[in-house]
Structure 1
Amino acid sequence: MGRRRGASLQRRLFLGALVFVTLALVVAGLAIGLVLYRFARGQIDARLDGEIFAISADLKTGKDGPVLSYAHDGPPFDRPRSGWYWQVRTGEGILRSPSLGEAELTVPRGPEREDGRPAPADGTGPRGEGLILRVLRLAGPRDAPETVIVAAAPAATLHGPLREAGKTLTLALGLLGICLLAGIAVQVRLGLRPLDTLRRELAAVRAGQRDRVPEEQPQEIRPLVTELNLLLDQNAANLERARAHAANLAHGLKTPLATLAMAAERSAEPGLAPLVAAMDRQVRHHLRRARAAALGGPSRARADLAGQTRDLAAALARLHAERGLAIETEIAPGTSVACDAQDLDEMLGNLIDNACRWARSRVRIGAARSGALIELRVEDDGPGLSTDQVAHVLQRGRRLDESVPGDGFGLPITLELAELYGGDLSLERSDLGGLLARLRLPV
């Protein structure tokens, strides 16, 4: 039978404790009840046995049956129908306690004790009430009939106090059970708290806030943390190797492609240059995809959006200083995105550089959080783009104005990188009059 998915450890531990505590309390209640029963029954039996021994010591056999030297009618055997009775029968002769009146006790035939002590029995009184009996059988000389001495106590004398004690015991055990379960609930929460701490620390690793899980953990969790850190180290090593392979491949293809491009420019073959350009686009495209896959997506990468935007804006402001551009940045310090810093530099560089090239005098940059994404806005007061032009510029190598420097790859590359990180890029009209680029990346 498979394990139930989504089962709670806390609930499982608490339910297990509930079952065992309940069983323990039930067993304890039964054991205590049995002890109380035996104690109360022993007290009643001792009292009845004392009465029987007193009667047997005073008992004599007369012509008409058993005879007692003095009256054994002390309390509670003197109260009529009290349930406390004694009776002596020898043959047809019979003696009774005052409480029994003219009635007779029916003595059940049961096993006799060999030690000469009274035997226990249960009977019924004159009014049908339950009785606790103690019976002593004394054999007569030769053919004389035996003498049967019986003393009785009302069963209510035993069961009534036991019921009252049982109510008190049940209440006490119930309160004890509630206290135990409350203590167990607190203990379970405290015991599982290190797992919640471990979850937060793993979330911090996934968010890029730390590289490893702290080793200072409870002894039971420390082996798990060690294995997690070994796995993180192995993934980091695999990531570095993948980056190195991608960089080596890019470096190895860069020189041959540059050589082919130069040869294509000198060649009289008209179709050679477009083929080389297509090769360059395909190589760059797949290298970027391989690099993004090596990064493992946005899960552990983290980049300072505010700081990198501020640095790029300052560099581009100096680059376009002769045009007197005003570049405004409105990004809260500490704003970060789940993205590799190099890829973020490339996306920011493409967007801000594009805005600076087309702006007349002003570029505005801002960022705000939208759910699980950070939306970066880059606006300019340039001519802007129509809907048809937006679709055109997002195609690789397509440019609207050949007089403006550029290769037409900036915005498509930015869009592709954003999508690889789970974000997107959209272009629309800015209230400054020019283009508004919205770059959305995960927090």
Structure 2
Amino acid sequence: MTRVRWTRSLRFRLLAATLVALALALLLAGWGLAGLFRQHVMRQFETSLTQQLDQLTARLEFDAAGQPQIDPQTLSDPRWHKPYSGLYWQIDQVSRNGQARSSVLRSRSLWDTRLELHPDDLADGALHAHEGIGPQGAAVLMLERTVRPDEQPEARWRLVVAANTQDSLQAVARFNGVLATSLLVLGLLLVLAALAQVAVGLSPLRALQRALAQVREGQAARLQGQFPAEVQPLIDDFNGVLERNAEVVARARTHAGNLAHAIKTPLAVLGQAAAQSLQASPGDPALARLVQEQVATARRHIDWHLARSRAAAAQRLPGLRTPLAPVAAGLVRVMQRVHAARALRIDTTGVPDALAFAGEEQDLQEMLGNLLDNACKWARTTVRISATGTADGLCVAVEDDGPGIDEAARDAVLARGVRMDETVPGSGLGLAIVNELAQLYGGQLRLRSSELGGLRVTLSLPMAA
């Protein structure tokens, strides 16, 4: 799962592509620079050695017998005279076929050794450079040239100069070390720059994530903020989807309301006719009472399905936020007027002002109103409302000091139409409506015993920031 998640990460893809490109570029740059420097050093080394060979050629003379001679004092470099100094010269006589050679003269720096040359045949005056092994097993670069004296055109002489390559190779190695360190530091700086570039480049996505969180938590109804031109079309399209969704929900709710109003009006007429019939014919009230009961049942079902449809639409609508404290205070005022004769004490001090419900205000009023109404019906003297915000969402508790409900019967009262006491007014739909609305919002309803002695109803709902 971790591997799949990383491969789907845009940050990982950008960094991986950048790091691979940087690594290839730095490796190619290091290889190219190291090769160019080595080539330059060896070219300079060969140029210096060519000058030495030119000097040796210029000092070459022949005696009366046609043998080559070189006055060592005419050679300017003191390394010619120091044994194993790293700079050597040698003159060989070449046979007519160019294959056999014999050493005739050599520099004092060669001491008791001689340069071993390849058996190659060169044109007169041509240069030939090759690597070989010199005195004491040191690696040397050799330059050869074949000359013919004017006095003896048939004789051929091979002039050779050689120099140790150790110093040049060490210079190349030092340069490669410095180059590798420099490229490593440059690579680290480029990696940091790539990290900064990715962070800055993806910062609009983090801003978009925060804007989406505000919509999800009910702090905004649409995406708000400044975004780059490449992201702004996506923001506009998403806001358009949110607006169209809100319009569809609003139209659906309006149609549902209109339908409910259209149905409630004939029901009201039927109820009024049944009441008038009951007053006009008190001796035969069965039909009128039947009509009244059916009208009341139809009204309860209409209210039930309206609440369901409203919650089902609202629980998927982003940007909803309803403060809890004002709704609770308004419902308490209503309950105090409805139950004024009983002088109930309704405590709302446990409801913080900062808590908010991520849903429609009408749904919160429906749920909390039913819970308060039930608590007030059964309470003796006190009803208490409290609320807390947790990691799981908003938790609202309504308690009373009434008789409570047995634990075995608590699940049954959440079913539609079940009433624990027929003497208490009600339809048996209150807790069932609250339970189903809470479930539509992803919450739940729990019944427990209260510290006040009665029932404690806990309502879990999504919380808005």
The answer to whether TM tops 0.5 is yes
Counterpart in 1 of 2:265?
Answer: 255
Structure 1 residue 256: Cα displacement: 4.0
CA, structure 1 residues 320+10, in 2 after alignment: closer, same or farther (shift >3 Å)? Answer: same
Alignment match of 2:364 (pick from 344, 347, 351):
344
Alignment match of 1:218 (pick from 225, 228, 232):
228
Structure 2: segments with no counterpart, 5+ residues: 95-101, 276-284
Alignment match of 2:117 (pick from 93, 103, 107):
107
Distance in 2 between residues matched to 1:187 and 1:57, nearest whole Å = 64
Asked if the contact 1:264/1:276 (under 8 Å) is kept, the reply is: no
Asked if the contact 1:66/1:90 (under 8 Å) is kept, the reply is: no
Range with bigger deviation, 56-65 or 412-421? 56-65
Aligned residue for 1:147, secondary structure, equals strand
1:361-376 correspondence to structure 2 within 5 Å: 361-376=381-396
Distance in 1 between residues matched to 2:222 and 2:66, nearest whole Å = 105
Asked if the contact 2:222/2:319 (under 8 Å) is kept, the reply is: no
Give CA-to-partner distance per residue, 1:258-314, whole Å, 9 cap, x none: 456667886649987776666555554444333222224475432111221122112
Counterpart in 2 of 1:180?
Answer: 190
Counterpart in 2 of 1:245?
Answer: 255
Counterpart in 1 of 2:310?
Answer: 291
The alignment covers a number of residue pairs equal to 440
Alignment match of 1:383 (pick from 369, 381, 403):
403
Asked if the contact 1:64/1:93 (under 8 Å) is kept, the reply is: no
Distance in 2 between residues matched to 1:59 and 1:207, nearest whole Å = 98
Distance in 2 between residues matched to 1:394 and 1:180, nearest whole Å = 65
CA, structure 1 residues 274+58, in 2 after alignment: closer, same or farther (shift >3 Å)? Answer: same
Range with bigger deviation, 101-110 or 177-186? 101-110
Same amino acid, percent of matched pairs: 37
Counterpart in 2 of 1:13?
Answer: 14
The residue type equivalent to 1:337 in the other structure is: F
Give CA-to-partner distance per residue, 1:91-129, whole Å, 9 cap, x none: 456221111123222232568689x56332112214333
Matching of residue 131 in structure 1 with residue 140 in structure 2: yes
The residue type equivalent to 2:83 in the other structure is: P
Matching of residue 308 in structure 1 with residue 327 in structure 2: yes
RMSD, aligned α-carbons: 2.8
Distance in 1 between residues matched to 2:385 and 2:305, nearest whole Å = 30
The residue type equivalent to 2:219 in the other structure is: Q
Alignment match of 2:161 (pick from 151, 172, 195):
151
Distance in 1 between residues matched to 2:366 and 2:44, nearest whole Å = 95
Distance in 2 between residues matched to 1:234 and 1:111, nearest whole Å = 92
CA, structure 1 residues 281+117, in 2 after alignment: closer, same or farther (shift >3 Å)? Answer: farther
Alignment match of 1:98 (pick from 108, 118, 138):
108
Matching of residue 165 in structure 1 with residue 175 in structure 2: yes
Range with bigger deviation, 171-180 or 76-85? 76-85
Range with bigger deviation, 352-361 or 413-422? 352-361
The residue type equivalent to 2:255 in the other structure is: H
Asked if the contact 2:221/2:318 (under 8 Å) is kept, the reply is: no
Query: TM-score of the superposition, structure 2-length normalised?
Result: 0.86
Give CA-to-partner distance per residue, 1:293-337, whole Å, 9 cap, x none: 222447543211122112211232233333222111111112012
Distance in 1 between residues matched to 2:336 and 2:459, nearest whole Å = 21
Query: TM-score of the superposition, structure 1-length normalised?
Result: 0.90
Alignment match of 1:317 (pick from 336, 361, 365):
336
The residue type equivalent to 1:39 in the other structure is: H
Distance in 2 between residues matched to 1:113 and 1:339, nearest whole Å = 99
Asked if the contact 1:384/1:429 (under 8 Å) is kept, the reply is: yes
Give CA-to-partner distance per residue, 1:57-116, whole Å, 9 cap, x none: 1212232521124533733222212332111224456221111123222232568689x5
The residue type equivalent to 2:430 in the other structure is: G
CA, structure 1 residues 363+14, in 2 after alignment: closer, same or farther (shift >3 Å)? Answer: same
Distance in 1 between residues matched to 2:335 and 2:289, nearest whole Å = 37
CA, structure 1 residues 102+400, in 2 after alignment: closer, same or farther (shift >3 Å)? Answer: closer
Counterpart in 1 of 2:279?
Answer: none
CA, structure 1 residues 380+260, in 2 after alignment: closer, same or farther (shift >3 Å)? Answer: same
Counterpart in 2 of 1:39?
Answer: 40
CA, structure 1 residues 373+296, in 2 after alignment: closer, same or farther (shift >3 Å)? Answer: closer
Distance in 1 between residues matched to 2:305 and 2:369, nearest whole Å = 21
Alignment match of 2:83 (pick from 80, 83, 87):
80
CA, structure 1 residues 112+356, in 2 after alignment: closer, same or farther (shift >3 Å)? Answer: farther
Range with bigger deviation, 37-46 or 398-407? 398-407
